[in-house]
Amino acid sequence: MEKQNSRFRWIVFASVVFTYLLMSSQRTAPGLITDQIMNDFNVSASTIGLLASIQFLVYTGLQIPMGIWADRYGPNLFLIIGALLTGLGTIIYSLGTHESILFIGRILTGTGDATIWVNMVLILGQWFTAKEFVRLIGLAGMTGSLGFLMATVPFSQWISILGWRGAFFSIGILLCLCGILLYFVLVKIPKSKMVNVDKTVQHEKLGHLLQRLISNRQAWALFFCHFGLVGAYVGFIGSWAVPYGMNVYGLTRSGASQLVMMGLIGALLGAPLMSGLSSRLEAIKKPYVVVHIVISLCWTTFLLLKGNPPLSLLFVLFFIIGFCYGASTLTFAVVRKTFPSIESGVISGFANTGGFLSAVLLPGIFGMMLDYYQTDQGHLELGYSYGFVIPVIFSIIGLIGVLNIKEKGVARNQPDV
């Protein structure tokens, strides 16, 4: 039975994206209990900041190695291990009695999380045709945004019922069960049904592969394309959107959180709609260029209006920025279309590194800008005003990257496996 013609591929899709939903929720869920962690463990705000960023640092650092390993040894094993590690890390986090235990838990969670996207892209590429892939990668991206959404009110209610330790422990157990489920769905059942036995492929030496990677213009175009789109959203909305709404507009924390919600709603819609449009047009670059132009104009609007657009426009801008971020899954549709399948993993990892590198850099740079002007409230607003030059620069880098993408001309000289 061929993978891309079997009904079983939809079970694979459902199992993988459900695991992604749970894993992505654990990227931001600890933010719900910041005050409790500070009180229970008597730690400083800087320690909390490091605890929050350590998962993203581990995730970013492992993207290229994960891509290489997935190409060489297959994505199934790493995704199974990733789900188990994320579950184990979440359980350890819930049982922690010292801040060092919390760090171990988050490092394990970040290590597991680093496996999900690259391997999911490869698995979907194996089980679905190229046209199906463009559409489904958008749905997979939407699932990640649903995970972020789940880590707001729903998980907060779960914490209120079980307490923070019980809530995180239960999610950890569920993730471990997902790892077991993935073993049966990705390995055991396909092997018993003899679904499209993978071909043995001769891989080039690691040094040659890395040398060719860093000299490949298409790979760098995708790196910068993802850098400009992901970091400006995750880096700003994930870190500074709520303080920005409170300090500049005088909103309550709940009111400022609605800005984040608008971005999430935009991302939920942007991922499937843009991937569906690209699939219908049978073109990726043209709609993706439009996305990058729009998000650049949005951040430029903040800058031109000195960081203080009218409140009604503010919500619209956050929605559009989130919508454009949702379209970032098109980066991997380009990888699927223009690179041979035996190196899709390392290229996907390289591109994803660009996105999350910017997500790590932007909050810190933006914070340094605010610290420079934070002498009183008036100067703090000035800091936000000048700070928006950073996402403008990042988005322009992304626009340059997408303009340099070649949708045709990079032959897929290896068959899909």
Q: Are 319 and 190 in contact (CB under 8 A)?
A: no
Quickly state the pLDDT bin for 375 (edges 50, 70, 90): low
3-state secondary structure of 40: helix
| Interatomic CA distance for residues 412 and 129, integer angstroms | 14
Average pLDDT, the chain: 85
CA 8 to chain centre: 27
Summarised one tens digit per residue, pLDDT across range 51-106 is: 777 887 888 889 989 988 888 888 999 999 999 999 999 999 999 888 899 999 99
| Interatomic CA distance for residues 329 and 228, integer angstroms | 13
Looking at the chain, the domain(s) classified CATH 1.20.1250.20 span: 1-195, 206-417
The two three-digit tokens of residue 55, written as one number: 């998962």
Q: Which residues contact 363 (CB under 8 A, 6 or more apart)?
A: 235, 236, 238, 239, 240
Total-model pTM: 0.79
Quickly state the pLDDT bin for 195 (edges 50, 70, 90): low
3-state secondary structure of 224: helix
Sign of CA dihedral 234, 240, 245, 251: positive
Tell me, which fold does domain 1-195 have in CATH?
Growth Hormone; Chain: A; (1.20.1250)
Angle between helices 330-338 and 217-237 (to 10 degrees): 170
Most confident option among 160-174, 257-271, 335-349, 372-386: 160-174
* Burial class for 69, CB neighbours closer than 10 Å (0-12, 13-18, 19+): buried
DSSP state of 187: I
| Interatomic CA distance for residues 192 and 226, integer angstroms | 39
Q: Which residues contact 202 (CB under 8 A, 6 or more apart)?
A: none
Quickly state the pLDDT bin for 41 (edges 50, 70, 90): confident
Q: Which residues contact 146 (CB under 8 A, 6 or more apart)?
A: 21, 24, 268
The two three-digit tokens of residue 214, written as one number: 């860093």
Task: Tell me the mean pLDDT in the region 398-404.
Answer: 95
| Interatomic CA distance for residues 373 and 382, integer angstroms | 7
CA 325 to chain centre: 10
Q: Which residue has the tokens 């005088």?
A: 250
Tell me, which fold does domain 206-417 have in CATH?
Growth Hormone; Chain: A; (1.20.1250)
